A and B are shown apart, each in its own frame.
Chain A
């Protein structure tokens, strides 16, 4: 058959072997740390019993996704130094986690909260704010799952599969249906168990890549000089505005603000919180703030694969093919199959956790309060399981019927939206000074302005100069003269609105939590 004519048989066999292995693990996971999976706390949060090491594998597998492994080096391949913002981003995130997540874990454990929105309703007693937080998480998660599918499809294409028409998406459909079934059965235990395999494989892949590829290419200095020449040629040909081994002056503002804003947004996402709240103690979370940076080092080296792809002269139609093509260029077929399997599992683990996080959020913060307040624990678990299926089908539909651009744009906006729940969630861990309605209006202002800043006639963009044309008002220039990440800029407005309105809209709503609930 034509779609298998160019298939790399050896690489595909290795790939299928690992996929089959984790499928078995995914179903067996239901028996791990055995408990009744008819309770949403067991299905959707693994019974909050993952110790330091299980949490390390789960969070590492959950946060450092397949899409990251493809997109970060793709950005470095395209423009160089700017793509490295993932490194400062992942440096500043762990001190932040150290101070905030053990508190969130403690209060959610004490009150049996499952989601960010559960906590926010408990803290502020405001259903509108709870719904705003829940919907933000749901909408931002959908394109993120779809992009994991894009990552998966890239490596399957590199295996030589070339289906047309209805067969074009056949492999990812099969992969996702299998993933959906064992996630439905085993809940969060499935990605937690698979993450062991995935993370170990990613480390082997990265170690091999940074030893073998520079050797094959004649050393690091050759890699960087080849990349430098390629960036200079691109800039000279006006293909990109700025690219190079270091940041152009205009890229420094975006570099810093993207790192800060992305770090603030990441742990607002349902999947990041699901992985964190499933830990067995605050201690397990603190342990991870010191050990998860190992994945950041791997990510830093993965970013450099973009430059290795330039030096190896791999020819690609799209920058996102750079890593798969480099792997094929550098390694024997069997090991290329291993690397592709590692990346593919890197799509399945986060996709599973994301769908579970979205399912928990929908069940607890949309369905229960607004549709069926009298739900039992068994009913909650039943709704969550079905929603996890629907979410995955939704992501598949996005890939089937929408251009990839759509998922990318929505993912970009998702980050700008997600960061808007930061004041309610993070400040809420320390103080009840802000009022629910003020936080809600701050959120609304942040969403609207963040979206407006990201819009240009040609495309959605992540950064905007700190000078604005305000409708019916005129031009305002901050005088700062640099461009900033829209998520961060709009968050400042959100904070200002929330703080000012909290002065006038004092909240009389009840607070379920007490100061000692936040200490683990």
Chain B
């Protein structure tokens, strides 16, 4: 199950219809942009958590 930490960010990143929208905006930045930008550190964190779990 620990694979979910790696897979979930990838699935979200590729699921374009999910985030292909303007609202809700943050500081005038459309959802499409801030969601994808936010997903970058989230995906890195996912790899970190997986790495820790793998080493047990």
Which residues of A approach B to under 8 Å, CB–CB?
Answer: 81, 84, 87-88, 90-92, 94-95, 98, 219-224, 245-247, 252, 255-256, 259-260, 286, 289-291, 293-294, 296-297, 300-301, 304
Q: Is the CB of A259 within 8 A of B22?
A: no
* Total chain B interface residues with beta-carbon distance under 8 A: 30
Q: Is the CB of A259 within 8 A of B47?
A: no
Instruction: List B contacts of A291 (CB < 8 A).
Output: 44
Instruction: List B contacts of A88 (CB < 8 A).
Output: 13-14, 16, 36
Among candidates B20, B29, B40, B43, residue contacting A246 with C-beta atoms closer than 8 Å: B20
| B56: Cβ under 8 A from any A Cβ | no
Contact (A290, B13) CB under 8 Å given A219-B28, A297-B37: no
Contact (A300, B14) CB under 8 Å given A81-B32, A221-B28: no
Q: Is the CB of A90 within 8 A of B28?
A: no
Instruction: List B contacts of A98 (CB < 8 A).
Output: 6, 47, 50-51
CB distance from B42 to the nearest CB of A (A): 9
Chain B minimum-CB-distance residue to A248: B20
Chain B minimum-CB-distance residue to A296: B40
Which residues of B approach A to under 8 Å, CB–CB?
Answer: 6-7, 9-10, 13-14, 16-17, 20-22, 25, 27-30, 32-33, 36-37, 39-41, 43-44, 46-48, 50-51
Among candidates B14, B20, B37, B47, residue contacting A94 with C-beta atoms closer than 8 Å: B47
Instruction: List B contacts of A92 (CB < 8 A).
Output: 10, 13-14
Question: 7 nearest interchain CB pairs?
Answer: A221-B28, A220-B28, A88-B13, A293-B44, A91-B13, A95-B6, A87-B36
Q: Chain B interface mostly helix, strand, loop or mixed?
A: helix
CB distance from B3 to the nearest CB of A (A): 9
Chain A minimum-CB-distance residue to B25: A221
Q: Is the CB of B29 within 8 A of A224?
A: yes
State A224–B41 Cα separation when bound (angstroms): 23
Contact (A224, B51) CB under 8 Å given A88-B14, A92-B14, A95-B6: no
Instruction: List B contacts of A286 (CB < 8 A).
Output: 51
Among B6, B9, B16, B25, the most chain A Cβ lie within 10 Å of the Cβ of B16
Q: Can you identify 10 A-B contacts, CB atoms within 8 angstroms?
A: A87-B39, A95-B43, A224-B29, A255-B16, A260-B14, A293-B40, A293-B44, A300-B37, A300-B40, A301-B37
Contact (A87, B14) CB under 8 Å given A94-B43, A290-B48: no
Among candidates A84, A91, A220, residue contacting B29 with C-beta atoms closer than 8 Å: A220
Instruction: List A contacts of B40 (CB < 8 A).
Output: 87, 90-91, 293, 296-297, 300
Chain A minimum-CB-distance residue to B37: A300
Among A88, A245, A297, the most chain B Cβ lie within 10 Å of the Cβ of A88
Q: Is the CB of A245 within 8 A of B41?
A: no
State A94–B41 Cα separation when bound (angstroms): 12
State A441–B7 Cα separation when bound (angstroms): 32
**Other contacts beyond A91-B43, A92-B13: 15, CB < 8 A:** A84-B36, A87-B36, A87-B37, A88-B16, A95-B10, A98-B47, A224-B30, A245-B30, A246-B20, A247-B16, A255-B16, A256-B14, A290-B48, A294-B44, A301-B37
Instruction: List A contacts of B37 (CB < 8 A).
Output: 87, 297, 300-301
Chain A minimum-CB-distance residue to B35: A87
Among B6, B14, B48, B50, the most chain A Cβ lie within 10 Å of the Cβ of B14
CB distance from B41 to the nearest CB of A (A): 7
State A219–B29 Cα separation when bound (angstroms): 10
State A347–B17 Cα separation when bound (angstroms): 35
State A291–B6 Cα separation when bound (angstroms): 15
State A401–B38 Cα separation when bound (angstroms): 43
State A255–B14 Cα separation when bound (angstroms): 9
Instruction: List A contacts of B16 (CB < 8 A).
Output: 88, 247, 252, 255-256
CB distance from A250 to the nearest CB of B (A): 12
Q: Is the CB of B32 within 8 A of A84?
A: yes
Chain B minimum-CB-distance residue to A220: B28
Instruction: List B contacts of A247 (CB < 8 A).
Output: 16, 20, 32
CB distance from A423 to the nearest CB of B (A): 20
CB distance from B16 to the nearest CB of A (A): 5
CB distance from A61 to the nearest CB of B (A): 19
Q: Is the CB of B44 within 8 A of A246?
A: no
